[in-house]
Amino acid sequence: MDRQTLANVVPLAAVVIALAEYLLDHTYPRYASPWFWIALVATISLLVLVQVLRFTGASKPSAAKPDYSAASVIRRRSDSDDKG
């Protein structure tokens, strides 16, 4: 498994484990509460939004153009540079 796939799977696994603990570690069912469904929808929406932004986000920046200005090509030395 490469690093990119692992980096995508780890947050998803963390959310699944947290939701499983949230659901199974109590005497009454949490999924009966409307807050559970709100939190579940918000979490899934956030995960989907991150993936959508990741794959359809800003295009990659183009390569920078080299600086051919006279100031970068010719450096004038002052007297303070010579005394060093």
As a whole number of Å, the CA-based R_g of the chain is: 27
- Asked if the model's pLDDT at residue 6 lies above 80, the reply is no
Q: Rounded to an integer, what distance in angstroms lies between the CA atom of residue 31 and that of residue 20?
A: 11
Long-range CB contacts (< 8 A, 24+ apart) of 17-26? 19/43
- Asked if the model's pLDDT at residue 77 lies above 60, the reply is no
- pLDDT for the residue numbered 2: 75
Q: Is 26 helix (H, G, I), strand (E, B) or coil?
A: coil
pLDDT tens figures, 7-29: 788 888 888 888 888 777 777 76
- pLDDT for the residue numbered 58: 64
Specify the higher pLDDT residue, 7 or 45. Answer: 45
Angle, vertex CA 16, rays to CA 15 and CA 18, nearest 5? 65
pLDDT tens figures, 55-72: 887 666 677 776 666 665
